[in-house]
Amino acid sequence: MSTLTISLVQTALHWEDKDRNLAMLEEKIRAITERTEVIILPEMFSTGFSMKPDQLAETMEGKAVAWMKKISAEKRAIVTGSLIIEDNWAYFNRLIWMQPDGKYGYYDKRHLFAYAHEDQHYASGNKRLIASAKGWKINLQVCYDLRFPVWARHQFAATGGPPEYDLLIYVANWPERRNQAWKTLLQARAIENQCFTIGVNRVGKDGNDVYHSGDSMVVNPMGDVLYTKAHDEDVFTITLNKTEVDDVRAKLPFWKDGDKFMILDA
């Protein structure tokens, strides 16, 4: 129960073309031959990072969500990534954590990327999602959230106990022009939270001619990079061991000296 096998899907995306993206991703996922337990897709994996939610959004009963249920059941693995979702007359950049039994959790992106006017088209989330899998606690976040360490930080005062999670995951459409920040901050989040951190990004140009170099990454609790890939599409599977998190926190219990705080109004 201490291991968790995860597949990262770094891919180009067909701009605002849901059918082509789902078909392409299905082919890549079905080609995974190793036994995997969690499959991570990029941010807005069915459309690319589009500011046209009025044209592209679906409900939680829509095509891409149904596709996630089908793939999760077929692979007997959790599938996660974000989609453009309409809910209660608002649009969200929503990360979905789909389980093989069809049950799911979701997280609405908290920090909207105003530089690209995301805040003008989408509603912000106000609640974190820390999911569970095989005894692991997993904090799920989206792209621009990476720049805001408080949102990822363990809230000891709220839990009254040890760190809240063991693995931090970011799904993204992060441009190559700022990839140094992406790579540095992924390592920083791992070090400061003493956890495994995974970032899954897309590659290639989007419909706005913005190039993405991928640089998807797996970082261990000491900040060492276990995997990264730039520019090329890649599906990479890795097995993480929770005892590594436990050992680092036991031998170097820096987390005990962390500031006690709670986010009162997200």
Active-site residue set: 43, 109, 143
Query: Where are the alpha helices (H) located in 173-241, listed in sequence order?
Result: 179-193
Report d(CA 171, CA 143) in Å as an integer.
6
Question: Phi, psi (5° rounding) for residue 256?
Answer: -70, -20
Query: Residue 262: exposed, middle, or buried by beta-carbon count in 10 A (0-12, 13-18, 19+)?
Result: exposed
Helix, strand, coil shares of the chain, percent, nearest 5, are 30, 30, 35
Residues composing the chain: 266
Report d(CA 155, CA 230) in Å as an integer.
33
Position of tokens 């891919």?
Answer: 11
H or E, element range at 243: helix 242-251
For strands 211-219 and 225-230, give the pairing: antiparallel
Report d(CA 136, CA 4) in Å as an integer.
8
